[in-house]
Structure 1
């Protein structure tokens, strides 16, 4: 069904369509021993390229589902400083730190980014991007955001102050789409609009109307809203005020 295909497309928003945008947003380079996932990557390919067993990549990054990595996700590809080389036989002297007898610990070097987690290290103050009924919530798998229904033309507003980094309808499955960059860590996305009221490169304030709700490239009038932290989708409800 069309609705099912669209929902599946929404779930793949983070993985397939924001690669160029994330790069444009100036994500910091990863530190030694880490790798940022690119389009087309798999855990097996990353492990092979870094001369590591797949099991090491899965264990070091706490991957419950190795087939569910996302574009922009940062993965550890060399053993932590406290991990013995016996636990990572494929590591080379160039990538594997000297073994130590202590238990594995998280890296603390200031130039080494922490492993991405579901809980952001920083926060953002959001307001609801529109009025309406939430008909779908975030689950991190099939749904990478929330869906809010109301009448066509309902105002869509910026959930936080930021800059428009995408405004158009070139991403299949999202109709008229806006993406706002709020700082070095956060992006928000607003899909299926009837009309876009701002342009790429434009600065917007929190609460400013940026679009009108619609059903572009969808089978019903609604706003699909996503929040991303360091390239990974997170639950917007965490940062939205209670209604």
Structure 2
């Protein structure tokens, strides 16, 4: 029977711990795998048809549960408010708010100002009967579009690749998720839409992009290093819009949100899930990197002797 020395047992113990760590997930969620975003094929993971239907059902349930628009008719400006933040929290464009409230400079609003959150209703003057019928028909169609679940369904994709830094409801910003990345990593539009904001008007968000997808949904891409789109620009799904920004000490991270009528929802509920094999492939380099660090520590402690010719040998 072979008896292993204490240093050997220590090595097996450390490697076993690293193996278990490499197989675990952060926050109970599988990491996002590296992949090339394809505009023609928006869902790039190996998802099944059932997963696609699950995401669609989730969106339709949200619309069904909230047929009534929660947003009030007006909003009273408070200390610290910006027009950009007010617009985001109500699912609107700050330019729309400025126009509806006759604000010449969107950067200047005063405490106590009452903002209208919708345009004034257009008064219809009496005219030919045929014209009235046409207006009623258009209004009915618009109402149907706002209530209907199918017209609001969006097939989303991940905006970038990397591991989740924090989940929805946790982290420094609880309104979205954080995705880790590297320098100059691309960020793409999660769904097609129009850029309604591009700038740094909200301090906690840094360089930020807001894309409006329809009358209900917005997506937010924050803490970017470089912004590559302008306000009013139409973007396609998968189109590069920015690059991930550096937080501190060479840590790169994207903050991503999906908002329905201004209210944050968990993006993971709308994004496609990933296959277990992709997760294993992602975990492998994490294991190798961690194991290398442990071996270096053992070498520094004199437990291991590392040689370019003979590899490594165990002391003791």
Give the TM-score normalised by structure 2: 0.40
Give, in whole Å, the separation in 2 of the partners of 1:23 and 1:193: 21
Task: Report the RMSD for the aligned CA atoms in angstroms.
Answer: 3.7
The equivalent of 1:212 in structure 2 is: 243
Q: How far 1:125 moved relative to its partner? A: 1.2
CA separation of 1:217/1:210 partners in 2, compared to 1, >3 Å: closer, same or farther? farther
CA separation of 1:127/1:215 partners in 2, compared to 1, >3 Å: closer, same or farther? same
Whether the aligned pair in 2 keeps the contact of 1:174 and 1:218 (CA below 8 Å) is: no
The 3-state SS of whatever aligns with 1:211 is strand
Task: Compare CA radii of gyration and give the structure with the larger one.
Answer: 2
Give, in whole Å, the separation in 1 of the partners of 2:162 and 2:258: 18
The equivalent of 2:93 in structure 1 is: 24
Give, in whole Å, the separation in 2 of the partners of 1:178 and 1:217: 21
Q: How far 1:203 moved relative to its partner? A: 0.2
Total equivalences in the alignment: 147
The equivalent of 1:127 in structure 2 is: 157
The equivalent of 1:153 in structure 2 is: 184
Whether the aligned pair in 1 keeps the contact of 2:92 and 2:262 (CA below 8 Å) is: no
Give, in whole Å, the separation in 2 of the partners of 1:221 and 1:140: 18
CA separation of 1:219/1:231 partners in 2, compared to 1, >3 Å: closer, same or farther? farther
The equivalent of 1:137 in structure 2 is: 167
Q: Answer 1 or 2: which has greater helix percent.
A: 2
Give, in whole Å, the separation in 2 of the partners of 1:217 and 1:123: 37
CA separation of 1:223/1:210 partners in 2, compared to 1, >3 Å: closer, same or farther? same
The equivalent of 2:271 in structure 1 is: 240
Q: Which has the higher contact order (CA 8 A, sep 6+)?
A: 2
The equivalent of 2:125 in structure 1 is: none
Whether the aligned pair in 2 keeps the contact of 1:161 and 1:182 (CA below 8 Å) is: yes
The 3-state SS of whatever aligns with 1:222 is strand
Give, in whole Å, the separation in 1 of the partners of 2:203 and 2:181: 22
Give, in whole Å, the separation in 1 of the partners of 2:268 and 2:200: 26
Give the TM-score normalised by structure 1: 0.52
Whether the aligned pair in 1 keeps the contact of 2:182 and 2:251 (CA below 8 Å) is: no
The 3-state SS of whatever aligns with 2:184 is coil
Whether the aligned pair in 1 keeps the contact of 2:195 and 2:230 (CA below 8 Å) is: yes
Give, in whole Å, the separation in 1 of the partners of 2:92 and 2:221: 19
Give, in whole Å, the separation in 1 of the partners of 2:180 and 2:195: 23
CA separation of 1:218/1:23 partners in 2, compared to 1, >3 Å: closer, same or farther? farther
The equivalent of 1:6 in structure 2 is: none
- Structure 2 gap ranges (5+): 1-80, 98-110, 118-142, 275-316
CA separation of 1:156/1:218 partners in 2, compared to 1, >3 Å: closer, same or farther? farther
